[in-house]
Amino acid sequence: MLRNAKLAALRVLKRAGGFEVVANSKWRRNRLLILCYHGTSLEDEHQWRPPLYVAPEILEQRLQSLRAMRCSILPLGEALQRLQASDLPPCSVAVTFDDGTYDFYRRAYPLLKKYGIPVTVYQTTYYSDNLMPVFNLICSYILWKRRTEKLGPMPEIGINETMNLSTQLSRHRVVRCLVEHADRENLTGREKNEVASRLAQALRVDYVDLTSRRILQLMNGQEIAEIAKDGVDVQLHTHRHRTPDDEALFQRELDDNRCRIESLTGKSPTHFCYPSGVYRQQFVSWLRKDGVLSATTCDSGLVQAGDNPFLLSRFVDTTGRTQLEFESWVSGVGALMALRKTATQRYTVPQD
């Protein structure tokens, strides 16, 4: 109800020219919008997980409107420097993609190139070295493909009873059993891939075909090197897509990630994005100590000079966002109308 009222208000405002007024205002000029995307569907991934994937047609529509709204689309590093120097051009936007999935290479990058839009990819690297699908995601996708069925017991992969696959929650329970089994047995990446393959087989999904289409896989080293050479800004997202609470382990995630990115791109990454948007107070000082210059979250908001550079908000664009909402955020109206700062993961104060 509230959402419908908000959309109706946005429609009225847009028709009255309110978007344009805010987009050209001094208020908006002093702020930067950092857009955040994850995957762009190779096939039907946006139907499987709408908050994570957008269809390529939607992405293209968004890029067209950035051009139509005459936004100043800047590379992330330049945008952050100009923000600090109070030198932002009108309606400035920076575009970022998290994870560095193969679908970025195949679907999103050709579109960004077509519209001449600079982009930052926050690349996680473990699965770039080990070419197989991301374990928990591919299991979830296989279960979704068979959501009208039931999964019989498979104790050898951690499923001890017949499981219902009809709801997101019930499928999530199965994934949790599989992940817990893998953790308990201390399975390697290859062994986890074998578990996913057995799950697929039990549900009559052709796993060889699925993996050959590169669904839910990351870019490989060659692809990362190729896009970097072509001008894509490749930045930090941890090696194993996790942020341990132990400082030495956190540092290792940064070191391994940086080392892989440097060897592939020949450049040293200095910008970071928190995996899954999770951040804690101690991470800020660890990142600063490491020499990182900025870190982005998945919290919604525009960025202004004076914001903590290690807690930069973004606008996470997903299948669930309408074109009107997207345009409202680009103009600045969306941020003004947000009743409170919506956060995917709130800032967490450590326990001790």
- Least distance in Å: CB of 297 to Zn ion? 12
- Dihedral angle over CA of 147, 153, 155, 161, nearest 10: 100
Exactly one of 99, 103, 317, 327 binds Zn ion (CB under 5 A); which one? Answer: 99
71 Cβ contact list (under 8 Å, min separation 6): 91, 92, 93, 330
Q: Which of 39, 133, 158, 275 contacts Zn ion by CB under 5 A?
A: 275
> Which is nearer to Zn ion, 99 or 223 (by Cβ)?
99
Residue 310, both tokens? 């290690």
Q: Evaluate whether 315 touches 94 at the Cβ level (below 8 Å).
A: no
Q: How far is the CB of 100 from Zn ion (least distance, A)?
A: 9
Comparing CB distances to Zn ion, the nearer of 104 and 109 is 104
Size, binding site for Zn ion by CB under 5 A: 3
Identify residues 233-262 at the interface with Zn ion (CB under 5 A): none
Residue with Cβ nearer Zn ion (39 or 158):
39
Give the residue with the Cβ less far from Zn ion, 269 or 275. 275
The CB-nearest residue to Zn ion is: 98
| Cβ closest to Zn ion, residue 19 vs residue 37 | 37
> CB under 5 A: which stretch of 42-50, 92-100, 105-113, 284-292 binds Zn ion?
92-100
CB of 269 to Zn ion, least distance (A): 15
Give the nearest distance from C-beta 146 to Zn ion in angstroms.
Answer: 26
Q: Which residue lies nearer to Zn ion by CB, 79 or 134? A: 134
At its nearest, how many Å lie between Zn ion and the CB of residue 55?
20
Under the binding rule (CB under 5 A), the answer on residue 277 touching Zn ion is no
Q: Structure tokens of 183?
A: 């953790």
Number of Cβ within a 10 Å radius of residue 57: 12
In angstroms, give the least distance from the CB of 111 to Zn ion: 20
- Candidate ranges 26-34, 65-73, 250-258, 270-278; the one touching Zn ion (CB under 5 A): 270-278
Minimal distance, residue 275 CB to Zn ion, in Å: 5
CB under 5 A: which stretch of 62-70, 248-256, 269-277, 309-317 binds Zn ion? Answer: 269-277
- Please say which residue, 138 or 157, places its beta carbon nearer to Zn ion: 138
Q: What are the residues binding Zn ion (CB under 5 A)?
A: 98-99, 275
